[in-house]
Amino acid sequence: MRLVSTIIVVTTASVLPQFALAENAEHGRRLAENWCASCHEVSAGPHSAEARAPSFAAIAQSPDFNAERLSYLLLDPHPKMAKLALSRKAINDIAAYILSLKK
C-alpha cells in the first residue's frame, strides 16, 4: 500500500506542473485585447483598415511563426513596439492564442 501511495504522489507531482504551466489561449486573447489591440487586430473576425501592425490572424498564418520567436520578440521588442512587462506565462498564453487562429 505504501508503494502505491508513493507512486500516486510522484505521478501527481510530475503531472500537475504541466497543467499549471500549460498555455491558455483564452487568457492569451484577453491579454492581447488589453496589451496589443491598440496596434494589432487581435480577433479572428473582420479586420479594420486602421490597424498599424499585422493582424494576429496574419501572424498565425506566417510560415515562420512559432511561440519561441514570439517570446524573444516580446522580451526584447523592436523599436516601434512598446516594451511590455509580460511574464513568460503571459507570453506563452498570447502565443497559444495566436496559434489558435491558424487555419
pLDDT by residue (tens digit) across 5-47? 334 433 444 433 433 446 899 999 999 999 888 888 998 766 6
> Which residue is it, cell 491579454?
31
- As a whole number of Å, the CA-based R_g of the chain is 18
Q: Is residue 88 part of a domain?
A: yes
Q: pLDDT band for position 3 (50/70/90)?
A: very low
Host domain of residue 57: 24-100
Write out the DSSP string of 67-98. Answer: HHHHHHHHHS--TTSPPP---HHHHHHHHHHH
CATH of the domain at 93: 1.10.760.10
Q: Is residue 17 part of a domain?
A: no
Q: How far is CA 96 from CA 1, 12, 14, in A?
A: 41, 25, 22
Three cell numbers at 22?
500549460
Q: Is residue 2 part of a domain?
A: no
Q: How many domains does the chain have?
A: 1
Q: Is residue 83 part of a domain?
A: yes
**pLDDT at position 97:** 94
